[in-house]
Structure 1
Amino acid sequence: MSPASTGAPAAVGATASVPAPDSTAPDSRMAPGSPGYRRMSFALFLAGVATFALLYSTQALLPLISGGFGVSASEASWTVAAATGGLALFVLPMSALSERFGRRTVMTASLAVAVSVGLLVPFAPSIGALVVLRALQGAALAGLPASATAYLAEEVRPKALVTAIGLFVAGNSVGGMSGRVVTGWVAQAWGWRVAVAVIGLVAVGCAVAFRLLLPAPRHFTAGSLRPRVLAGTVRDHLSNPLLRRLYAIGALFMTVFGGVYTVIGYRLTEAPFGLPQGIVGSIFLVYLVGTVSASTSGRLVGRLGRRGALYLAGTTTAAGLLLSLAGTLPLVLLGLVLITAGFFAGHAVASSAVGRTATHGRAQAAALYQSAYYIGSSVGSTVGALAFHARGWSGTVGVGLLAVVGVMTITLLGTRAARLAAAPRTVPAH
């Protein structure tokens, strides 16, 4: 099924939108094989790597941070929740800046500030200072996700949009994986401070390459920064039932993912597994599965339709959660593989649908999705850690299953709404 349009008219003076292409002129937007597409894809892939590597740089290190500062798992989890919460709070204001000053400018500035803060994180003197720095880092990164999605929606042809966004999400998965694997092994040898310093340096390299590679936008039109105009654009998006469902789906998928990967390090370092920190970090190699599932999400939607792809993603995630309850390491790892594959596929499908559904103010539409998505991450990491403290791994799995039920319910409601909209209406006889 192709994503529906919002049908909402753009407000007077609304934020930037993609001009309708002249039907008699060739489409100048990028597509696979066109000039600049490969550079653009690699640049945004690197931006995705830097974003997730920085955003979740402490997640695999939580047991070490707990020991280093003498705090509990739930207290240490705030180093993750603060970063994702900061991003969630600032993504909408930063998207407004991108409507006025341009996607590439805002993305470049966001990465520059985030990597600068990242170089300060290793020197945090207390858990409180670490949480504050992580919140600042998340707020800085807020300019990237929504602006990247809007950039793609404006510069890439519609038929290639799901694939392009899938590659950006694949960069997220590579960043999340490499950050956790690198920090795991480095921390085992030199401690968590050196580990996060290494991630900061890697992010610096990604940020420089991103700025050098990303093509200048050709279809961006500057919008207004007036609060009334922005509020009208946000109101239009929130009044669209399809966009509301997509925002909720993104939040719920991320609740599962945030909870599982915040707590998994504690589970695997404790009995009966007792794995060393380096091996625990290597567990995040399963993110490669997410790279594949995100980058192939376009074909999945082409074969099953958007809602069919979401049903499959939710079912896969639920199966992984249940399998992870097993007491043997191979089954736990297989469960993580399924959770990761389902999450990244669902996220790529939902986020690309937002870009195609919004008819104006695409940065705001994407920002609302990202805000919901990272609120889900903060909730998942915090509630998942609390559930683990209270009930062990089964408590974290229970939180995740509730979120998956929410995804499936919302998707089912969308299916029902689409059928009712497509049903022929009969005119009563007089």
Structure 2
Amino acid sequence: MSIAAVTDRSLGVVRWTHVGLPLLVFSVIALMGQGQFGYLVANPNFMRDLMLTHYDIGVISTAFLMCYGIGILFWGIFFIDRVGPKRTMLFGLVGWSIFQMVGGLAHGYEGILISRCGFGFMVALLWPAPSKLTAAWFPHSERARGNAIWILGLGVGMALLSLTIPQLFSAFGWRSSFFCLAVISLLIGFPVIAIFVQDHPGTHERVSTEELSFIGGHSEARSTLLNLAQDRHATFRRPAFWMSIFLFAVVSSEVWGIFVWAPAYLRSQLPEVWVGVSLMAGYLLSVPVGLYVAHISDKLQRRGIFVAISNLILGLLFLGYRVTPVGSVTNIILVVLSIVVVLGGVTLFTVAALHNIVDQKVIGFAASVMTGVGNIVAAYVPLGMAYIIGTKVSNYGDAFLLVSIVAFLGSFGALFLIRAKI
């Protein structure tokens, strides 16, 4: 089928307007909450008011990532495939808003630890729930673009965060960020999901017969006749699924390596305003680049090639951190490009590849296992980088050298997907 036919409006656009756009809003709000902590740590009033040390920040960050990974497994295994992604997302929005407010009321280490751990556990459904909806609403010919909408919302969320959080800190203090993000979740995120989203296209009153046929929503009724436990067991018998777990561990290591340490890396030689501009440029550029490459991926229906190439490029970019002067024009361009590739390339295509590996009936479960294990492994990457940075003979460049090795391993592992024609 041609791309022109795929995008023909006669087929209907409900999957884009009532699933794609709400998922974009959901991911933007979720990522703003995830990225908030980095800005809090950089705020001296936050550190002083709660009497936090850098060691405390390390423990809280690792605890957050562990709860995040465990939460992904929990939501995917026990909720997504059973009660549906919509109700799970609504529950998560309320839950993480409560933990945001706990953070706003915290008066010490224990309070902020509870807030971040609880928030990490609740926001973890960001990965399995949208994956489940994307599988139900988008045919394989549009699967990469369907995933691109909410995955690239991560970049939009980080860009918006860099614009709003400093102003909130300046005008109302650091506590205001917790309450502001909780209000956004409840007054914007909750109604958007509640009003527009349905778990399956067959139950949505606005979906035409033509669009339902194009999506393939008729297969959902037949698929429920199969035993869910048997379907999950079959997933673990696929070697490509185990490779997808490894590849997402690589992705998570790359993502958290950038999110945690790239700002400090640039800040060591640049004024804070230029650090913000550089990072925002990377987050915003990841959106059009990711959508364009996703379009090509959908046309070729080969995800493994893009996973391999984007990991290879990312590994080379991280090597560039080591050999270029920090703060130079070339160095800033490398950082911007690495953000573009990690969000608009390797993350997007690793998730999209999963849809070509497992049956959509258990995509929520499969996505939770893949992303949950990946994030649990990645919890130790920022600590490993911190250890390297903390040694007298090393620096940030050496730390990113570690992540470049991980990226090259990911590129090598993706050859398995290419061989399997995924």
- Is the Cα contact below 8 Å between 2:79 and 2:88 reproduced in 1? yes
Alignment of 1:414-429 (within 5 A): 414-415=417-418, 417-418=419-420
Check 1:389–1:189 CA distance in 2 against 1; reply closer, same or farther (3 A cut): farther
- Is the Cα contact below 8 Å between 1:63 and 1:265 reproduced in 2? no
- Is the Cα contact below 8 Å between 1:170 and 1:291 reproduced in 2? yes
- Is the Cα contact below 8 Å between 2:99 and 2:119 reproduced in 1? yes
Give structure 2 stretches of 5+ with no counterpart: 1-5, 203-216
- Is the Cα contact below 8 Å between 1:61 and 1:184 reproduced in 2? no
Shift of 1:223: 9.8
Residue number in structure 1 paired with 2:283: 287
Alignment of 1:122-137 (within 5 A): 122-137=104-119
- Which one-letter code corresponds to 2:295 in the other structure? R
Query: 1:32-75: CA deviations, max 9, x gaps?
Result: 74335322111011111112111222123323355554545453
Query: 1:193-215: CA deviations, max 9, x gaps?
Result: 33343333333323332322224
Query: 1:83-139: CA deviations, max 9, x gaps?
Result: 332121022221231222122111111112112221221222223321221111111
Residue number in structure 2 paired with 1:265: 263
1:155 equivalent in alignment to 2:137: yes
Alignment of 1:135-146 (within 5 A): 135-146=117-128
- Which is worse superposed, 350-359 or 62-71? 62-71
Query: 1:191-245: CA deviations, max 9, x gaps?
Result: 4333343333333323332322224523566999xxx965x65543333211111
Residue number in structure 2 paired with 1:357: 357
1:211 equivalent in alignment to 2:194: yes
- Which one-letter code corresponds to 2:134 in the other structure? L
Check 1:138–1:353 CA distance in 2 against 1; reply closer, same or farther (3 A cut): same
1:373 equivalent in alignment to 2:374: yes
Shift of 1:334: 1.1
1:316 equivalent in alignment to 2:313: yes
Q: In proportion to residue count, which structure has more helix?
A: 2
Residue number in structure 1 paired with 2:338: 339
Rounded Cα–Cα distance in structure 2 between residues aligned with 1:403 and 1:137:
28
Rounded Cα–Cα distance in structure 1 between residues aligned with 2:180 and 2:121:
21
- Is the Cα contact below 8 Å between 2:228 and 2:362 reproduced in 1? no
Residue number in structure 1 paired with 2:212: none
Residue number in structure 1 paired with 2:251: 253
Residue number in structure 2 paired with 1:183: 165
Check 1:304–1:75 CA distance in 2 against 1; reply closer, same or farther (3 A cut): farther
- Is the Cα contact below 8 Å between 2:136 and 2:199 reproduced in 1? no
Q: Of the candidates 238, 241, 245, which is equivalent to residue 240 of structure 1?
A: 238
Q: Of the candidates 382, 407, 412, which is equivalent to residue 410 of structure 2?
A: 407
- Is the Cα contact below 8 Å between 2:128 and 2:365 reproduced in 1? yes
Residue number in structure 1 paired with 2:73: 92
Rounded Cα–Cα distance in structure 1 between residues aligned with 2:291 and 2:182:
26
Give structure 1 stretches of 5+ with no counterpart: 1-26, 422-430
Shift of 1:143: 2.9
- Is the Cα contact below 8 Å between 2:15 and 2:138 reproduced in 1? no
**SS of aligned partner of 2:125:** coil
**How many aligned residue pairs are there?**
384
Residue number in structure 2 paired with 1:109: 91
- Is the Cα contact below 8 Å between 1:233 and 1:361 reproduced in 2? yes
Shift of 1:366: 1.1
Q: Of the candidates 17, 24, 49, which is equivalent to residue 38 of structure 1?
A: 17
Shift of 1:174: 1.1
Check 1:110–1:222 CA distance in 2 against 1; reply closer, same or farther (3 A cut): farther
The normalised TM-score by structure 1 is 0.79
1:50 equivalent in alignment to 2:50: no
Rounded Cα–Cα distance in structure 1 between residues aligned with 2:277 and 2:222:
44
Shift of 1:256: 1.7
- Which one-letter code corresponds to 1:347 in the other structure? T
Rounded Cα–Cα distance in structure 1 between residues aligned with 2:83 and 2:222:
7
Rounded Cα–Cα distance in structure 1 between residues aligned with 2:136 and 2:85:
10
- Is the Cα contact below 8 Å between 1:108 and 1:211 reproduced in 2? yes
Identity %: 11
- Is the Cα contact below 8 Å between 2:141 and 2:301 reproduced in 1? no
- Which one-letter code corresponds to 2:147 in the other structure? I
Shift of 1:364: 0.8
